[in-house]
Amino acid sequence: MPQRFRRLQEPDGRWVEVEIEGTKTRVLEGESVAAAIFASGLPWCRTTPVSGAPRAPYCMMGVCFECLVEINGVPNRQSCQISVEQGMQIRRQPGASPEYP
């Protein structure tokens, strides 16, 4: 699977380190978790509860909920609306989302 996005070279970038699916990854300070997922090359972030189809972040602005992942053990985090933090553990989310009523 070829990488979909690449990072532009910028002289003054500040970085933090997160773990995405167990792999340590350097990501841009302040960016969203969903953006970090794309930068890491992970092709999808969850599977759907209905058919198990893979999905990736879609709208990047909080209106589609395709970007739900597990962050630091908590499921259903809307990753396009959450900024990365040093040491964050980000995992794909399989299927159903029991937290929501």
Minimum gap (Å) between residue 76 Cβ and ligand FES: 12
- Contact by Cβ (8 Å): 43, 32: no
**Residue 36: CA atoms inside 13 Å, Cβ hemisphere, count?**
34
Q: Which does 67 bind (CB under 5 to 8 A by kind): ligand FES, other proteins, none?
A: ligand FES
Q: Which does 100 bind (CB under 5 to 8 A by kind): ligand FES, other proteins, none?
A: other proteins
Give long-range contacts, CB 8 A cutoff, 24+ apart: 5-10.
Answer: 5/38, 5/39, 7/39
Judged by CB, which is closer to ligand FES: 13, or 81?
Answer: 81
Give 74's contacts (C-beta < 8 A, 6+ positions apart): none
Site residues for ligand FES, window 56-95 (CB under 6 A)? 57-60, 62-67, 78, 80
Q: How many residues make contact with ligand FES (CB under 6 A)? A: 13
Give 11's contacts (C-beta < 8 A, 6+ positions apart): none
- Binding residues for other proteins, rule: CB under 8 A, are 1-8, 10-13, 28, 30-32, 35-36, 38-39, 43-44, 48, 50-51, 53-66, 68, 76, 81, 83, 97, 99-101
